[in-house]
Amino acid sequence: MRSLNSIQIGRTTRRARFAFLAAGILTFALAGAVSAQHRISLSGDIQAKISYCKDCHGVSAQGFNGYYPIPRLAGQQPEYIENQLRAFIEHRRTNNIMFNVAHSLSPAMINTLTAHFASLNPPPIGGAPRQLVATGRKIFEDGMPEVNIAACAACHGPEATGSGQIPRLAGQLYPYMIKTLSNWDKERGRNPTVPDAAAIMSPVAHSLNKSQIEAVAAFVSTLRSPRGTPNTVQ
């Protein structure tokens, strides 16, 4: 029994050695061709990843109403997207789907993806009640100083294009805006050991009532970006 086993192992080892040697020779012989192919398949990977993101975030990443409102990524600040992807991994945002998505992304892939999304500029999906837009614009541009609500424009910019870690809101989905602002403390800053910039929005989101949130959401959801690329000026 024992000797049989050792024979089998010997055969296996010999076979493995042969396979290994053959593979080595093949690798040397095809080194040039393989590296070229690697490059092509890398860009193929990127294309595949982009279309994977767009399965849920919409064909031009303009957002999509799936089971949940799935946010627009088009024209979004690269630094914002990068920070949010990290937020999913660090459980600052708790979302199983996005945790798994983010977990598999290399830093190089994240750079490529965020640059790609920033460069997109499809028109907003729309669908918000039109009659709320004027009130929303007023709140966005001026805030409500009497009740201590800051103007959204101070941080998100007069055209809601965002800046750095501060998100673009122009064209964002109406229901996504409402869901996020209505549940801020459950949507952001979920990991007390990793405090983040989301804390800034907490008092603002808290102070806004439901109809004010709906008005602001309606306004930004209709906003088109004047530029093809987001504003990254500090």
Partner 1 sequence: MSFRRPQRQRRWAFRSPAGAALIWPAAVLALSFSSPATAQGNVSKAEADAKLRYCEVCHGVSAQGFHGYYPIPRLAGQPTEYLKNQLQAFVERRRTSNIMFNVGHVLSPAMIDALTTDFNELNPKPLGGAPKENIDEGKKIFENGIAAANVPACASCHGPEAKGNGPFPRLAGQLHDYITNKLTNWEKERGQNPAQPDISAVMQPIAHTLTQPQIKAVAAYLSYLE
What's 160-199 look like in SS3? CCCECCECCCCCCCHHHHHHHHHCHHHHCCCCCCCCCHHH
**Dihedral pair phi/psi, residue 183, rounded to 5°:** -125, 40
Contact with partner 1 (CB under 8 A) among 40, 145, 192, 193: 145
157 interacts with partner 1 by CB under 8 A: yes
Binding mask 192-221 toward partner 1 (x if CB under 8 A, else -) reads --------x--xx-----------------
Tell me, residue by residue from 166 to 185, as one string, x for binding to partner 1 by CB under 8 A and - for no binding: x-------------------
130 touches partner 1 (CB under 8 A): no
Look at phi and psi of residue 128 and say left if phi exceeds 0, alpha if psi is from -120 to 50, else beta. beta
Q: Does 104 bind partner 1 (CB under 8 A)?
A: no
The DSSP annotation for 67-125 comes to SSEEPP-TT--HHHHHHHHHHHHTTSS--HHHHHHHHT--HHHHHHHHHHHHH--PPP-
170: left (phi over 0), alpha (psi -120 to 50) or beta: beta
Q: What are 45's two structure tokens? A: 């990977």
Q: Which is nearer to partner 1, 29 or 199 (CB)?
A: 199
Q: Is 79 in the site for partner 1 (CB under 8 A)?
A: no
87 versus 201: smaller Cβ distance to partner 1: 201
Verify binding: residue 149, partner 1, rule CB under 8 A: yes
Asked if 151 touches partner 1 (CB under 8 A), the answer is yes
Q: Which stretch binds partner 1 (CB under 8 A): 28-36, 160-168, 178-186, 211-219?
A: 160-168
Which listed residue (69, 162, 167, 171) binds partner 1 by CB under 8 A? 162
Q: Which is nearer to partner 1, 125 or 160 (CB)?
A: 160
**CA 46 to CA 6: how far, in whole Å?**
47
Q: Residue 35 corresponds to which tokens in the numbers above?
A: 């590296």
Part in contact with partner 1 (CB under 8 A); list of ranges 46-54, 57-65, 109-117, 162-170: 162-170
- Name the β-bridge partners of 65: 69
Interface residues with partner 1 (CB under 8 A) are 141-143, 145-146, 148-151, 153-158, 161-164, 166, 200, 203-204, 231, 234
